[in-house]
Amino acid sequence: MTMIGIIDYGMGNLYSVSKALERLGCPYMVSGDKEVLAQARGLILPGVGSFRDAMHSLNETGLADFIREAVQGGTPLLGICLGMQLLFDESEENGPTKGLGLLHGRVVRFPGVTKTGEPYKVPHMGWNRLRFHRPSPLLDGVEERHVYFVHSYYVIPGDEDVVLASSEYDVDVPAVVGRGCVFGTQFHPEKSGAVGMSILNNYVGIVTGRGNG
């Protein structure tokens, strides 16, 4: 039976992600134990809070190396919100901090001022429309509708090809990223209604397809 492991490193929105998987009928487990998580066929890395604190926790627990090794072995991984940002090389939040380095790019703060000098609200909090750029099994059958964001930082990718979908909040915000078995959503799919549930269901399908293949 395919099971998804939700990585518990003390900074994730575990309850809402768990409930979303329950609604999809997907078996899952929540754990911070590498040996337990190694039994999962796919992983979800949620995240709420500071990039620096998150990486400190992942490094201290050995979960950072575990995640890298799991991906190298072909295990699908989905990062959500801060979890998506952690997939990249580094963040400027609270000073430069190295990320997991699974995708190339930097995480930077919204300027808070438009090019014409008009201030705008940071964090970006609310519903914004997706704009698709590249086909992906993560987006199969999904429509370009609004999803729910809460973040003060966004990714500047080192390679635009990893951006599957974007949204606009003064700047172009990578909203869905992916390469190989690594995927990420800057928004919260578990809080984004039917669109978000479709994306999560597609991720379950990716994991299941790998398990059946």
Q: How far is it, in rounded angstroms, from Cα 152 to Cα 113? A: 13
The whole-number pLDDT of residue 171 equals: 94
Q: Contact, 162 vs 176, CB < 8 A?
A: no
The whole-number pLDDT of residue 209 equals: 85
188 is catalytic: yes
CA 81 to chain centre: 5
**Which residues, listed in sequence order, are joined to residue 172 by a DSSP beta bridge?**
168
26 is catalytic: no
Structure tokens given for 124: 């970006």
Q: How far is it, in rounded angstroms, from Cα 41 to Cα 210? A: 8
Q: What are phi and psi of 94, to 5 degrees?
A: 55, 35
Q: Which tens digits make up the pLDDT trace of 71-93?
A: 999 999 999 999 999 999 999 99
Between strands 77-80 and 42-45, the pairing is parallel
Q: Contact, 87 vs 100, CB < 8 A?
A: yes
Catalytic residue among 90, 93, 181, 190: 190
| Run of H or E including 6 | strand 4-7
Q: Which domain holds residue 16?
A: 4-212
Place of tokens 């915000």: 173
Q: How far is it, in rounded angstroms, from Cα 5 to Cα 76? A: 10
Catalytic residue among 26, 81, 151, 181: 81
Q: How many CA atoms lie within 13 A of 107 on its CB side?
A: 31
The whole-number pLDDT of residue 2 equals: 61
> Whole-structure pTM over 0.85, yes or no?
yes
CATH number at residue 181: 3.40.50.880
Please count the structural domains in the chain: 1
Q: Contact, 39 vs 66, CB < 8 A?
A: no
Structure tokens given for 117: 């000098």
Residue 150, pLDDT > 50, answer yes
The whole-number pLDDT of residue 84 equals: 98
Query: Can you tell me the mean pLDDT for 104-129?
Result: 94
The whole-number pLDDT of residue 13 equals: 81
Catalytic residue among 124, 151, 181, 188: 188
Residue 41, pLDDT > 70, answer yes
190 is catalytic: yes
Q: Contact, 173 vs 186, CB < 8 A?
A: yes
The whole-number pLDDT of residue 213 equals: 33
Exposed / middle / buried, residue 143 (Cβ in 10 Å: 0-12, 13-18, 19+): exposed
Handedness of CA 59, 104, 75, 73 (dihedral sign): negative
The whole-number pLDDT of residue 11 equals: 86
